[in-house]
């Protein structure tokens, strides 16, 4: 899932040089190496002269202060009784004088002589360089060039090959054609919508993270830093593959092989990059078997690990891919990390450990789980904010929508992905859902079941579009529920699906708002203007798909088709698909963004809704929160590196 547009990226949520341009830049830089080398020599000589002049200046009082040994100023010397220790036992800090002063002067003179000699040698070398003929200089420069090229070759030699591991059983990745002609016709329409979205991006935004379909140019947001990482390409790959769009898939793979580079000076969202890039690359690898996707996923994952270097091991929200420096969002409660962000890493990191043999990924996410298990939870609820420095909760705000949502989703999916052996994850999920039911789930006066938000002891009767994923989650987790409550949770999923459908049906465009209230006589309707937008979100359609898989009630296909028609009618433009700013207006204005998750999630779930159940069967695949399918790991007696043997 994705995050609210105005909440930078918590919850389920730039132009790229072509290969030719890149090589031209490198060639031009090489051509100028000789000029840079000469300038460097001259600059070095100048700096050396400056330093030399400084050290040859006569002593004065200012330089005498400089002569003080560091230990004279910073390190306390404790007098022995012989030296007259004060009766109070206080520590005396000596100044310069006597024997110590003489010793320090000698040391400083020795140091100064060494510096003089070093600078004289550097000056002499610079003079000799400048006396050489043009031919001699060119020969030296060529030698330096060759050395640089050799170093570059070593750097670009690529990562070490990953250890071979058994490929998980991959089933149900092709076809899925429904037997009913009318359903097939709808599925073909969804495939055509995907082709329009992809072709538009291919034509107008290739290599950028996202597309501005009206302006017909590339677009990016702060979650990807200032770099052109081709987010839409990575996010869309598995959808293309599942839909049988193999030429388009091949184009995306070629771009990734030639252009996707994570050694950039860019500050990115750990959460968003994990679910979109690592999730997308791993899914593309499992579906296609192409090693490049696995290697790229591992390269990126290594860049995310420094985000965990905090006093508690709870990762920062953002990390610089080049420097490894992390920080949190400025708006998050008192510098806190966000539950849905640090709690939505487990699926991808377990697969990383499985594929690489490196236990660090598994250990990082299990450390988070263990830390949370030790903490007190108000009313059994998990607040959305946790300070990574102190290990304490921030403000007591609990939500199954933005800021909290995918934390609960990943507890359930960790259990499913482990072939139902991770019973600790299942128990944690069950306890959390029980508290959510008790405190957050209510029925409106009109009979609509909704999930509110808990804020400092008060239930806000508002539900976000993001929280609509929960209907599918309750259905997915019904089997295996404690106390024979499978039927109860399947029914709860159906009720949430109905409420979210009402939020769509009560708008002019038949598309759902970002958030909707249940008070003052209004139900499932947005009140604030800044909550009336629809940005191509998938959560409602996701729930329709899960409910269809578990019940085969035809209304879910009907509701999904209503949404698909509305998207095609009101969001489609000549340059792709755009979000709309007011779903209650008959003449909506566009936000001019084709989100990458529209191709990763919304269109994938619609396609699966109109496919047969043997395409991506839920017994074999678990979808991450960006709808990237990862295979169930049937590990049997195999234990992940760094883990304890699983208990059934």
Which of the residues 210, 272, 424, 591 is marked catalytic? 272
CB neighbours of 258 closer than 8 A, spacing ≥ 6? 19
Beta-strand (E) ranges in 220-352? 267-269, 318-320, 326-327, 337-338
Instruction: Report the alpha-carbon distance of residue 2 to residue 276 in Å, rounded.
Output: 10
625 is in an annotated binding site: yes
Are 235 and 600 in contact by the 8 Å Cβ rule? The answer is yes
DSSP conformation letters of 236-260: HHHHHHHTT-HHHHHHHHHHHHHH-
Helix, strand, or coil here: 422?
A: strand
| Alpha-carbon gap, residue 190 to 156, rounded angstroms | 41
Number of residues that this document lists for the chain: 648
* Measured CA distances, 448 to 2, 302, 453, 643 (Å): 25, 46, 16, 44
Please give the backbone phi and psi of residue 400, each rounded to the nearest 5 degrees, phi first: -100, 0
Task: Spot the catalytic one: 302, 502, 539, 582.
Answer: 539
In the block, which residue shows the tokens 């390269």? 299
In the set 210, 235, 248, 405, the catalytic residue is: 405
- H-only helix segments in 316-356: 339-342, 346-356
How does strand 621-623 pair with strand 385-386?
unpaired
514 is catalytic: yes
Tokens of 6: 């105005």
160-165, long-range: CB within 8 Å, 24+ apart, which pairs?
162/294, 162/295, 162/298, 162/355, 162/356, 162/357, 163/356, 163/357, 165/354, 165/355, 165/357
3-state secondary structure (DSSP) of residue 579? coil
376 catalytic? Reply is no
- Answer whether 273's CB lies under 8 Å from 304's CB: yes
Q: 402, 7 in Cβ contact below 8 A? A: yes
Three-class secondary structure assignment of 147-185: HHHHHHHHHCCCCCCCCCCCCCCCCCCCCCCCCCHHHHH
- Active site residue: 409, 422, 502, 514, which one? 514
- Per the CB < 8 A criterion, the answer to whether 537 and 602 are in contact is yes
Residue of 89, 93, 98, 97 whose CA lies nearest to 74:
93
Q: Active-site residue 118, yes or no? A: no
Is 495 marked active-site? Answer: no
Q: How big is the CA angle at 560 (ends 603 and 189), to the nearest 5 degrees?
A: 55
Residue pair 141/37 in contact (Cβ under 8 Å)? The answer is yes
Please state the separation of Cα 599 from the chain's center in Å.
17
Rounded to 5°, angle at Cα 336 from 334 and 339: 140
Strand partners, 623: 629
Which residues are known binding-site members? 625
Binding residues for Ca(2+): 625
Which of the residues are catalytic? 272, 405, 514, 539
């Amino acid at each position: 899932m994705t995050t609210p547009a105005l909440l930078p990226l918590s919850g389920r949520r730039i132009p790229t040089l072509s290969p030719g341009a890149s090589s031209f830049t490198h060639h031009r830089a090489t051509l100028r190496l000789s000029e840079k080398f000469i300038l460097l020599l001259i600059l070095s000589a100048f700096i050396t002269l400056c330093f030399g002049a400084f050290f040859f200046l006569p002593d004065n009082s200012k330089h005498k202060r400089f002569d003080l040994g560091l230990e004279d100023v910073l390190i306390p010397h404790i007098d022995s009784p012989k030296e007259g220790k004060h009766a109070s036992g206080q520590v005396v800090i000596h100044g310069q004088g006597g024997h110590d002063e003489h010793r320090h002067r000698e040391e400083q003179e020795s140091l100064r002589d060494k510096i003089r000699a070093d600078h004289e040698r550097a000056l002499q070398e610079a003079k000799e360089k400048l006396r050489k003929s043009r031919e001699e200089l060119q020969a030296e420069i060529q030698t330096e060039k060759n050395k640089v090229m050799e170093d570059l070759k070593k750097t670009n030699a690529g990562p070490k090959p990953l250890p071979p591991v058994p490929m998980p059983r991959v089933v149900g990745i092709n076809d899925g054609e429904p037997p009913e002609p009318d359903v097939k016709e709808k599925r073909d329409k969804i495939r055509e919508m995907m082709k329009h979205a992809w072709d538009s991006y291919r034509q107008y935004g290739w290599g950028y993270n996202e597309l501005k379909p009206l302006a017909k140019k590339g677009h990016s947001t702060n979650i990807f830093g200032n770099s052109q990482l081709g987010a839409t390409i990575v996010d869309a790959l598995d959808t293309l593959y599942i839909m049988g769009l193999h030429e388009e898939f091949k184009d995306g793979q070629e771009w990734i092989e030639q252009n996707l580079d994570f050694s950039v000076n860019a500050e990115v969202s750990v959460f968003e990059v994990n679910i979109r890039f690592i999730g997308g690359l791993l899914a593309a690898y499992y579906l296609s078997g192409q090693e490049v996707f696995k290697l790229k996923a591992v390269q990126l994952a290594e860049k995310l690990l420094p985000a965990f270097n905090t006093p508690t091991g709870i990762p920062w929200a953002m990390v610089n891919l080049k420097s490894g420096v992390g920080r949190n969002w400025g708006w998050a409660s008192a510098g806190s990390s966000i539950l849905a962000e640090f709690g939505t890493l487990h699926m991808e990191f377990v697969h990383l450990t499985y594929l690489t043999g490196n236990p660090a990924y598994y250990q990082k996410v299990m450390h988070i789980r263990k830390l949370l298990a030790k903490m007190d939870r108000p009313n059994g609820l998990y607040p959305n904010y946790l300070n990574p420095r102190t290990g304490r909760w921030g403000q007591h705000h609990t939500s199954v929508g933005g800021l909290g949502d995918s934390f609960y989703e990943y507890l359930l999916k960790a259990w499913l992905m482990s072939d139902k052996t991770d019973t600790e994850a299942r128990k944690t999920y069950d306890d959390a859902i029980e508290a959510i039911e008790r405190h957050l789930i209510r029925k409106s006066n009109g009979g609509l079941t909704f999930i509110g938000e808990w804020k400092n002891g008060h239930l806000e009767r508002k539900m976000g579009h993001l929280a609509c994923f929960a209907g599918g989650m309750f259905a997915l987790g019904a089997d295996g529920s404690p106390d024979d409550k499978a039927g109860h949770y399947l029914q709860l999923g159906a009720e949430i699906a109905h409420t979210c459908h009402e939020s769509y049906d009560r708008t002019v465009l038949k598309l759902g708002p970002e958030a909707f209230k249940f008070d003052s006589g209004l139900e499932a309707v947005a009140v604030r203007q800044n909550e009336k937008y629809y940005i191509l979100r998938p959560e409602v359609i996701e729930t329709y798909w899960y409910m269809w898989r578990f019940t085969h009630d035809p209304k879910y296909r009907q509701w999904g088709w209503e949404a698909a028609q509305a998207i095609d009618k009101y969001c489609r433009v000549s340059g792709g698909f755009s979000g709309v700013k007011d779903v209650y207006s008959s003449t909506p204005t566009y936000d001019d963004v084709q989100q990458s998750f529209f191709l990763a999630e919304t269109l994938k779930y619609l396609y699966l809704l109109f496919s047969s159940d043997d395409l991506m069967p839920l017994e074999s695949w678990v979808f991450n929160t960006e709808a990237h399918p990862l295979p169930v790991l049937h590990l049997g007696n195999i234990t992940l590196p760094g883990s304890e043997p699983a208990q059934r």
